[in-house]
């Protein structure tokens, strides 16, 4: 009764948010429930799905390709979070420096990698890291080094993926961190200067604590993005499953070998992993009294 | 009141906007019904959509000329080729469209390989063509329809059957005084590689090895494996790759070539390999006949240097490479009206000698791809024995037909092949990367196939 009253009272606001919720229901919630259902079946996309109970999940636990993909994704997550956040902090601090001349140019230029299409950049990086004819190896050879099998070695093939990922995503997070830096009152720094604080002390005692909410947001966003990484390892593919991501493995299972039920099970596991990570992160923030 | 009306109209517009495009009704293939006039079927105005991969833009030239010739039955009809990344991609697009119930958006026909054709046939997505193909089987090259058969019916219209060939650069062999005729056997092929390496001080490689999935596709599944009579599955569908002597022979030969430095590690169909080929650093390609178009297109500087011979045979087996078939499948499109038109198009392309020759001549002028026809009558024509300057005056077309004679039997096709290929290729890629030996690679293929697939369904 209460709900009906509330709906009646706020019918226009509800009407305005209705399109989003309709779309959410049709294109996200129903497919999500459908995916969970499919994950308990064997289905190649044609004909009727055949129920296999927990078969797909049991097979996943034994599937070395799945575990390789999980390990690779964790690697992309850790390297992505560390390098992207550090670089974003560094670049945004430089861009925020009042002594920087032509700051508008640098702000625009530093954002450009994010504007470039991931697939196009992947192809270019593939050429740069080519073992025989790539520019990177040509430079190494010119300086007396040897050719590195960047994309043809099991151990090296993740490196170009990480470089491309960091290069493409740092600008976006730089802009977010920069917006946070611009919101820090200059009076804090002035007071610290009067108290004789060094630049490093100012950074750790003023800048970092003031950015904690922004950095937490970046961390969450980067975590979700890293677990969903697809374009980079797909284009810069290495030998076997050496640099395959979980999202890519899900795609391959679904659309290359048409094991839709298996792919759905991977999707459910991926969702579960992201859910757990998010809960842990929020729990830590709550415990720290930040939320 | 005004405010309320405006609010409602706005909300309604937002909702409508969100659904724009859903359920759009394309007129392709469902224009109206075909009608019969003077014993001829006349097709209504509209667009025929065909999914194709490779370089299908060149087929468009045949289709446009065909429409011009067939104005009496297809006036107002256009043909659009939609390029896909490959057979998997075509199948994915067709399957998802079919599942969504958006039948109008389905193509009218598609080019497809045997593995994906089998799944589409099972799902009744492609048309049963038994009645059309059966009377023509005797008029086609041997085995043309074999891989399109499923549960006693023929689901694909044979488009091409192309053999495995050995392309070799005669100039390189002449320069280093190596006899190419010894390459009639795999053992002799390896020996030729060793001689080339030694006499060129390591500058010339016998061939290439791809660090990705193409090694399994071209060296393995379509090449050495059938040549060595190797098996992934036994007759019951059990995994036998780990204990199969043919597999050991096939992949052992690849291992000998790679471990002795006879193969240049380079991605196929990429500039680096073409550069090496242009510089005379790669002497041969043991690959399907399709490689002809890639050589002509990408290394035209080497025109006249190349020759072809039948793919080398293992001494103990005696058969050359397995032929690769591709099919043209008509999609079971609800309310579709162009199935008959697509069938006629296929028949003319494969059995009308004049129009096919005209098109091939155009392709030659443009250095574009084409394959031999499947029609035996057509192949008797002198045209298909004409010499080619690219091959130093030899007739590539005649050789293409000739090399079909001693072909090996293809590996058995199962619905699990796509997954099996991924598992096998992953191990082979690790071998090429140097992180495991070939022995370990074969053992891992066996172990992982058993763990992930278990048993394949052998379709009778």
Q: How many distinct structural domains can be found in chain A? A: 1
CATH number at residue B168: 3.40.190.10
Q: What is the pLDDT of residue B16?
A: 59
Q: Do A154 and B435 touch (CB under 8 A)?
A: yes
A237 CB near a chain B CB, below 8 Å? yes
Q: Which of B95, B270, B271 sits opposite A46 (nearest CB)?
A: B95
Residues of B in contact with A69 (CB under 8 A): none
In a domain, residue A235? The reply is: yes
Q: Which residues does B444 contact at the CB level (< 8 Å), separation at least 6? A: B427, B430, B436
Question: In this prediction, what percent of chain A has a pLDDT beyond 90?
Answer: 70
pLDDT in tens, B165-196: 999 999 999 999 999 999 999 999 999 999 99
Task: Please give the mean pLDDT across all residues of chain B.
Answer: 90
pLDDT for B10 beyond 70: no
Tell me which residue of A223, A225, A235, A83 sits closest to A157, measured CA to CA. A235
pLDDT for B222 beyond 80: yes
Confidence of residue B421 (pLDDT cuts 50, 70, 90): very high
Same structural domain, B152 and B170: no
Residues of A in contact with B123 (CB under 8 A): 46-47
In a domain, residue A177? The reply is: yes
Same structural domain, B310 and B365: no
A268 CB near a chain B CB, below 8 Å? no
Least confident of B6-15, B230-239, B363-372: B6-15
Same structural domain, B262 and B156: no
Show which of residues 53-82 on chain A sit within 8 Å of chain B, judged by CB atoms: 59, 62-65
Q: What is the pLDDT of residue A193?
A: 92
Q: What is the pLDDT of residue B155?
A: 94
Q: What is the pLDDT of residue B21?
A: 47
Same structural domain, B156 and B171: no
CB B240, CB B185: distance < 8 Å: no
Confidence of residue B15 (pLDDT cuts 50, 70, 90): low
Query: What is the nearest CA distance from B12 to chain A, expressed in angstroms?
Result: 8
Q: What is the pLDDT of residue B30?
A: 47
pLDDT in tens, B317-342: 999 989 999 999 999 988 889 999 99
In a domain, residue B394? The reply is: no
pLDDT for A13 beyond 50: yes
Q: Do B211 and A19 touch (CB under 8 A)?
A: no
Task: State the residue range of the domain holding A280.
Answer: 54-287
Query: What is the nearest CA distance from B426 to chain A, expressed in angstroms?
Result: 4
In a domain, residue B291? The reply is: yes
pLDDT for B106 beyond 90: yes
State the average pLDDT over residues B260-272.
Answer: 93
Same structural domain, B50 and B26: yes
Q: Which of A18, A45, A152 sits opposite B433 (nearest CB)?
A: A152
Residue with tokens 């014993």: B39
Q: What is the pLDDT of residue B34?
A: 67
Same structural domain, B310 and B417: yes
Minimal-distance CA residue of chain B relative to A131: B266
Same structural domain, B212 and B118: no
Task: Please give the mean pLDDT across all residues of chain A.
Answer: 91
Which position has the higher pLDDT, A166 or B147?
Answer: A166
Residues of A in contact with B122 (CB under 8 A): 46-47
pLDDT in tens, B17-34: 555 544 444 444 445 566
In a domain, residue B138? The reply is: yes
Q: CA–CA separation, B179 vs A67, rounded Å?
A: 50
**CA-based radius of gyration for chain A:** 24
Same structural domain, B279 and B342: no
Same structural domain, B137 and B274: no
In a domain, residue A139? The reply is: yes
In a domain, residue B387? The reply is: no
State the average pLDDT over residues A250-273.
Answer: 93
Same structural domain, B104 and B180: no
In a domain, residue B233? The reply is: yes
Task: State the residue range of the domain holding B51.
Answer: 2-161+325-374
pLDDT for A30 beyond 90: yes
State the average pLDDT over residues A54-65.
Answer: 94
**CA-based radius of gyration for chain B:** 25
Same structural domain, B259 and B337: no
Q: Is B422 exposed, middle or buried (CB count within 10 Å of its CB: 0-12, 13-18, 19+)?
A: buried
In a domain, residue B316? The reply is: yes
CATH number at residue A94: 1.10.3720.10
Q: What is the pLDDT of residue B24?
A: 44
Q: Do B11 and A62 touch (CB under 8 A)?
A: no
Structure-block tokens of residue B165: 């060939």
Q: CA–CA separation, B202 vs B196, rounded Å?
A: 8
Same structural domain, B307 and B430: yes
Entry pTM: 0.85
Tell me which residue of B345, B310, B306, B348 sits closest to B329, measured CA to CA. B345
Q: What is the pLDDT of residue A261?
A: 95
Q: What is the pLDDT of residue A258?
A: 87
pLDDT for B99 beyond 70: yes
In a domain, residue A197? The reply is: yes
pLDDT in tens, A167-225: 999 999 999 999 999 999 989 999 999 999 998 899 899 999 999 889 988 998 999 99
A90 CB near a chain B CB, below 8 Å? no
Q: Give this complex's ipTM.
A: 0.81
State the average pLDDT over residues B81-104.
Answer: 90
In a domain, residue B384? The reply is: no
Residues of A in contact with B119 (CB under 8 A): 44, 46, 258
């Amino acid at each position: 009764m209460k709900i009906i009253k509330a709906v009646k009272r706020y019918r226009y606001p509800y009407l305005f948010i209705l399109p989003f919720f309709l779309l959410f229901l049709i294109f996200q919630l129903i497919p999500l429930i459908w995916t969970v259902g499919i994950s308990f079946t064997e289905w190649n996309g044609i004909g009727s799905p055949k129920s296999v109970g927990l078969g797909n999940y049991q097979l996943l636990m034994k599937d070395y390709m799945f575990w390789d993909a999980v390990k690779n994704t964790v690697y992309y997550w850790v390297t992505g979070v560390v390098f992207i956040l550090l670089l974003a902090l560094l670049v945004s601090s430089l861009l925020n420096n009042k002594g920087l001349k032509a700051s508008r140019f640098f702000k625009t230029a530093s954002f450009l990698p994010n504007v470039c299409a991931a697939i196009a950049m992947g192809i270019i990086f593939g050429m740069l890291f080519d073992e025989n004819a790539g520019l990177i190896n040509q430079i190494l050879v010119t300086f007396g080094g040897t050719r590195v099998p960047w994309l043809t070695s099991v151990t090296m093939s993740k490196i170009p993926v990480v470089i491309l990922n960091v290069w493409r995503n740092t600008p976006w997070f730089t802009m977010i961190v920069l917006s946070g830096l611009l919101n820090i009152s200059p009076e804090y720094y002035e007071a610290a200067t009067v108290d004789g604080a060094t630049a490093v002390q100012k950074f750790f005692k003023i800048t970092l604590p003031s950015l904690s909410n922004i950095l937490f947001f970046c961390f969450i966003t980067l975590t979700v993005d890293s677990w969903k990484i697809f374009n980079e390892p797909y284009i810069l593919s290495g030998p076997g499953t050496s640099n395959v991501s979980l999202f890519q493995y899900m795609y391959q299972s679904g659309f290359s070998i048409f094991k839709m039920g298996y792919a759905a099970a991977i999707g459910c596991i991926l969702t579960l992993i992201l859910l757990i990570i998010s809960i842990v992160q929020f729990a830590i923030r709550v415990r720290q009294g930040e939320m | 009141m005004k405010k309320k009306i405006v609010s409602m109209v706005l909300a309604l517009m937002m909702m409508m906007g969100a659904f724009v495009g859903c359920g759009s009704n394309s007129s392709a293939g469902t224009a109206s019904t075909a009608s019969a006039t003077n014993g001829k079927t006349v097709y209504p105005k509209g667009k025929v959509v065909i999914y194709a991969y490779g370089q299908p833009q060149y087929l468009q030239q045949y289709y446009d000329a065909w429409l011009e010739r067939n104005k009496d039955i297809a006036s107002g009809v256009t043909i659009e080729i939609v390029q896909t990344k490959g057979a998997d991609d075509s199948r994915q697009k067709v399957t998802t469209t079919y599942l969504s119930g958006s039948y109008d958006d389905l193509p009218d026909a598609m080019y497809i390989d045997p593995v994906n054709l089998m799944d589409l046939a099972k799902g009744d997505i492609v048309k049963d063509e038994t009645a059309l193909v059966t009377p023509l089987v005797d008029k086609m090259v041997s085995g043309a329809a074999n891989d399109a058969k499923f549960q006693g019916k023929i689901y694909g219209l044979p488009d091409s059957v192309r053999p495995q060939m050995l392309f070799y650069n005669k100039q390189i062999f002449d320069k280093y005084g190596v006899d190419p005729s010894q390459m009639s056997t795999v053992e002799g092929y390896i020996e030729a590689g060793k001689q080339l390496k030694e006499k060129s001080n390591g500058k010339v490689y016998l061939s290439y090895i791809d660090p990705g999935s193409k090694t399994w596709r071209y060296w393995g599944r379509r090449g050495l494996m059938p040549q060595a009579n190797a098996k992934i599955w036994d007759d019951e569908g059990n995994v036998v790759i780990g204990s199969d002597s043919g597999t050991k022979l096939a992949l052992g030969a690849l291992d000998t070539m790679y471990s002795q430095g006879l193969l240049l590690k380079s991605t196929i169909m990429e500039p680096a390999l073409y550069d090496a080929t242009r510089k005379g650093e790669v002497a041969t390609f043991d690959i399907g006949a399709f490689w002809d178009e890639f050589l002509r297109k990408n290394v035209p500087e080497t025109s006249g240097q190349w020759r072809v011979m039948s793919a080398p045979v293992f001494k103990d087996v005696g058969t050359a490479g397995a032929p690769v078939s591709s099919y043209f499948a008509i999609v079971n499109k609800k309310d579709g009206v162009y199935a008959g038109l697509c069938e006629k198009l296929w028949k003319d392309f494969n059995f009308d000698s004049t129009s096919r020759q005209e098109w091939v001549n155009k392709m030659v002028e443009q250095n574009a791809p084409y394959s031999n026809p499947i029609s035996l009558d057509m192949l008797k024509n002198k045209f298909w024995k004409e010499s080619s300057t690219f091959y130093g005056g030899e007739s590539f077309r005649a050789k293409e037909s000739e090399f079909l004679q001693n072909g090996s039997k293809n590996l058995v096709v199962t619905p699990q092949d796509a997954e099996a290929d991924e598992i096998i290729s992953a191990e082979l890629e690790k071998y090429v990367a140097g992180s495991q030996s070939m022995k370990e690679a074969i053992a891992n293929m066996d172990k992982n196939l058993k763990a992930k697939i278990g048993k394949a369904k052998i379709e009778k």
